[in-house]
Amino acid sequence: MDALSEAVQDVAYNGNMHQDGITVYEVKDAIKPIILNGTLNYSTGILRLRASEILDLTPFAKVNLNSILIVNNTGDANLALTGANFTTSDDYQITIQLTEYQRARSVEKSSTPGGDGVPVVVDARQGALADIGENTHVDTFDVFIVETSDTTRPLPIAVHINYENGIVKITRMNRLTSMGLVH
Ligand SMILES: [Ca+2]
Ligand SMILES: [Ca+2]
């Protein structure tokens, strides 16, 4: 580091002399990020988790969605977010687009219509997320989630009728198509 003259003063108001090449001792970031809370919108299937500091979400390999679970009771192991998409920009929050299966299974566990009356919580197991200093968070269970009901009607976009066997097949449109998301 270089310091120009008069950058700092002593108690007698004497300024420093110009000085170049001052050694800087660095202390690494050793504080682990903390997963604080989140929101889950059952219309869009978007889960947002907020952390105590900016998360390293680039490249996407830094994130392990297998270790983030939406659960009824903390410790349940049946709904990991494997295969969901998420935003890839370093931020205080991670925005996760659930798969349709994960969204529907979450509604069943929720306090919203179609659910069991008690809100879901999230278990974020150690190593799922990391800060910019590459510290991963520790096991964080029972993360509080604010839920928003599914108020969107299903959107059938293609109906196939097989007149030979009478089978009607309806293919539903994906609700969100583009958010800059990756696997
Ligand atoms: Ca940190
Ligand atoms: Ca529940």
Contacting residues for 119 by C-beta, under 8 A, at least 6 apart: 110, 111, 145, 147
Residues with CB under 5 A from ligand 1 (ion): 29, 31, 131, 133, 135
Using DSSP's 3-state secondary structure scheme, residue 27 falls into coil
Distance from the CA of 110 to the center of ligand 2, in angstroms?
Answer: 4
Instruction: Report the amino acid identity of residue 77.
Output: A
Q: How many H helices and E strands in the chain?
A: 1, 10
Domain-wise residue ranges, the chain = 35-182
pLDDT in tens, the chain (183 residues): 899 999 999 999 999 999 999 899 988 888 999 999 999 999 999 999 999 999 999 987 789 999 999 999 998 888 999 999 998 889 999 999 999 999 999 999 999 999 999 999 999 999 999 999 989 999 999 999 999 999 887 766 677 888 888 888 877 655 544 444 544
Q: How far is the CA of 155 from the centre of ligand 2 (A)?
A: 26
Ligand 1 centroid vs 146 CA: distance in angstroms? 25
